[in-house]
Structure 1
């Protein structure tokens, strides 16, 4: 990642920024499209790779634990409802997939814009830390508007599933599941946004503490609502909704009681949060495409496996569960490095951003090797954790070496995606994902699966190709990054927002 080729041009670039902005006679004339402010160096200490390794380990660990605990919310519902019967189990699994495709992927993808805006604003703003609160408020308003059509889809889930030729009983139960889960969905989405608000300020453990309380309570509520209180099937999504609100309230209480994160809030500002939606959406829409393209591709693969028979579908569910667990590790690392890179760029420190990126990529490879080793070592026994059926376990053992093979690509793609968010280059990652999954990998995977009769190996072979293409494509783009220039651009952008917020007439 070569920024040394441009060192000779730094003084010229700096003077260019200064001269271009000096023509502005008054701050009151600044707009979103004004020239950048004069370059101002923030005197920060450059870090070593050893320091970055320590920082990433300490700060990515709570994020990984947080995402694992969040995953347990859906698992608890499926586990409890599985004891009621196959229809209830199928409806719970289909409801979780329906929620992921229609809501979580879009809302969480949109919230990834905060990885860029909040992290850069936190370190780049010298006098107006409440810029973080404005960015958060803007995101919450946009997410609330997005949830209106999502809620309509959830409310009519039964009708939609019947139109898609699902069995009537499954469609009816899934519709009930979605309507009761709808109660807690706003809290889940808001929790994600507030969590990113804290992470940008280096407060990584807050959400972990909250989920360490809410996750076991969620398991207990699922059992109580379904069995003890006699609510039956609707008890599980209702309990999950209550747990979503609990984890949000716990997080807000943490901020209020501890005082951590209050510095960036500054109270609700309706006037400012309604501005600059265009700049936010330019990051949010590609972020949505990145998350949706990957999640939807894996869900399409699961749907395709249903045409291969009962054993193949059961095996696919097990492999997907294992893949989801292994994915949380590099994804958590990607969130951590996104904030580290964004903070470094915001304070105009390209060298720190470069070190953080290189360290995270090395971490990703090391974690991937660990995941691969565990999967290969346990491939003949791990299937028994989910099913006693020998045929299913045998098929799982056949697919797991392929899952182990693409762990490196999966880790690199996740971490590269995080670095891209820190750099505000979500559009590049979105383009790579769309081409890799939908133009190459999925068509090839379906061809291997059905015409060539490779079965699940064909589906996972296609997904493996997509992940390798994403990892290679994003790695090549990062290799061409001029880190010092990106640092100056990010720092000037934050300073401009700061000055406009301070001095524009009301």
Structure 2
């Protein structure tokens, strides 16, 4: 095997290097400004991508809403079911590439990015097979969970048409992380924007003209995911910007699958535990007195949170990329700077968004309902949501730092403790014992966010960044297969 030239001088942090004494000197103004520009350049397009992707589901629900109450209820339940049982798991598994590709890119082992991408697609597509069977049996599963039989039947029909989305989503998420890790985010914005515009036309045709009804919306989602995925698939293989990171199909992708799975599973658990806790809150809302009012307001609150959450989620992806790149390059001091800058920016964003929410709390409810009690309840909830968003923004950036370092196992343990040992029990007590209703449920989850942010902050503060850079080096160079490369045509 011919040696890769970049392996002749492996990444070593010498004791005399300024990077090996990352806390000895303060950051200059120029360093801070450069880092701010880098993160904004990454976060801006990623926030846009998040919003546009979120709009796909919103557009589908809007079209289905014109078909009647039952089709809308079935589509909403099936969408939530697919998110919990399939999409969140695949999204979490794909986020392992933020560590693997990001650190490989920082270490200038560009050919490894293509290998990691192929491994991700193999693993995620294989995982999509059992997940698609779960979607196929959505109706009996929902009935076992005590859901309404009529709505469950409608959701089951919808969920079967969601199955193509699962496989398209697996390919899409793998390519998104692959491009994100090499700071190539403009194509993501372009393809997602184009897909979202086309989705309106596809949805209209399949919902109203094909005779499929609400199932047409599910099929439209699948078509849109596949259009986006195939667009990125073609871009990666023909673009000069990916010439070094995609060098063709290789059998080496099959050799490191167990290592990828060891990182992908905790990544999936870390994300899914958080998403599942919010879905559980909606289910608990149905058990409260006056469930129609509570679930309506909870739905409005969750939609509001999901929409504004797209902003810090973009910063989370940006800091994950920056931290993984700098650790892979052996620059722990710059990784620390990326952490400081990301936290400062996301706290500023959280405060500004909170001010907007509080200022417009008396108006926001009117966008969803004409009932005065709903509008008044939403205004009260927005005070909680404003504080909720600040802690949510902090924790999601800290989670991005965790992914950038490759510490997803610890992140999963933190999420398990914060949400399921602290947050949800607090929600139940506040909502049902102290009779705080939906506000009690939200307060309990906010307590979980506070503890999650606290635990992740402790992890970040106590991190030895020199050791993390050494681990990144070991991870990158350990991934190089010491045997001849077998590239496939």
Q: Paired residues, what number?
A: 469
Contact kept, 8 Å, 2:11 with 2:107, in 1: the verdict is no
SS state of the match for residue 391, structure 1?
A: helix
**Does residue 80 of structure 1 match 2:69?**
no
Any residues of structure 2 matched to 1:64-103 within 5 Å, and which?
A: 64-103=47-86
Q: Is residue 154 of structure 2 the alignment partner of residue 173 of structure 1?
A: yes
1:54 aligns to 2:15 (yes or no): no
Distance 1:411 1:130, change over 3 A: same
Q: 2:276 aligns to what?
A: 296
Name the residue aligned to 1:311: 293
**Residue 104, structure 1, aligned to residue 87, structure 2:** yes
**Structure-2 residue corresponding to 1:184:** 165
Q: Confirm or deny: 8 A CA contact 1:312 1:456 kept in the other structure.
A: yes
Distance 2:372 2:110 in 1: 58
Which segments of 5 or more consecutive residues in structure 2 lack a partner in the other structure? 4-8, 20-26
- Aligned 8 A contact 1:222 1:236 in 2: yes
The counterpart of 1:357, out of the listed 339, 361, 369, is 339
Matches within 5 A, 1:89-488: 89-125=72-108, 128-270=109-251, 272-308=252-288, 309-488=291-470
Judging changes above 3 Å, is the alpha-carbon distance between structure 1 residues 426 and 454 closer, same or farther for their aligned structure 2 residues? same
Deviation for aligned residue 1:379: 0.9
- What SS class does the counterpart of residue 183 from structure 2 fall into? coil
1:499 shift after superposition? 6.9
| CA–CA distance in structure 2, aligned partners of residues 173 and 503 of structure 1 | 50
CA displacement, residues 411-437 of structure 1 (integer Å, 9 cap, x when unaligned): 110000001111111111111110010
**Deviation of the 1:258 alpha carbon:** 3.3
Matches of 1:500 and 1:384, distance apart in 2: 63
The alpha carbon displacement at 1:147 in A equals 1.2
Equivalent-residue separation in structure 2 for 1:257 and 1:140 (angstroms) = 18
Q: What is the match of residue 475 of structure 2?
A: 493
Report if the CA contact (8 A) 1:52-1:355 is conserved.
yes
Q: Which moved more, 1:157-166 or 1:87-96?
A: 157-166
Deviation, structure 1 residue 40: 6.9
Distance 1:163 1:499 in 2: 47
C-alpha displacement of 1:233: 2.2
* Post-superposition offset of 1:493: 3.0
8 Å CA contact 2:12, 2:330 repeated in 1: no
Could you say what the CA RMSD is over the residues aligned between the two structures, in angstroms? 2.3
Structure 1 window deviating more from structure 2 (382-391 vs 115-124): it is 382-391
Cα-to-partner distance string for 1:134-193 (whole Å, 9 max, x where unaligned): 111111111112112111111111121122232222111111111111122211121011
**In structure 1, distance between residues paired with 2:70 and 2:212:** 16
Note if contact 1:124-1:495 (Cα within 8 Å) is conserved in structure 2.
Answer: no
Q: Give the superposition deviation at 1:282.
A: 2.6
> Would you say the 8 A contact 1:201–1:261 is kept in 2?
no
Give unpaired runs (5+ residues) of structure 1: 1-25, 29-35
1:76-134 alpha-carbon deviations (Å, 9 max, x no partner): 11111111111111111101110110011111111111110000011213xx5221111
| TM-score in terms of structure 2 length | 0.91
CA distance in 2, matches of 1:62, 1:304: 36
Q: Indicate how the Cα distance of structure 1 residues 185 and 503 shifts in structure 2: closer, same or farther if over 3 A, else same.
A: closer
Q: 1:501, CA displacement in angstroms?
A: 6.0
TM-score by length of 1: 0.88
Partner SS for 2:147 = coil
Quick one: structure 1 residues 496 and 390, their matched pair in 2 at CA, closer, same or farther if it must change by over 3 Å? same
Give the superposition deviation at 1:285.
Answer: 1.7
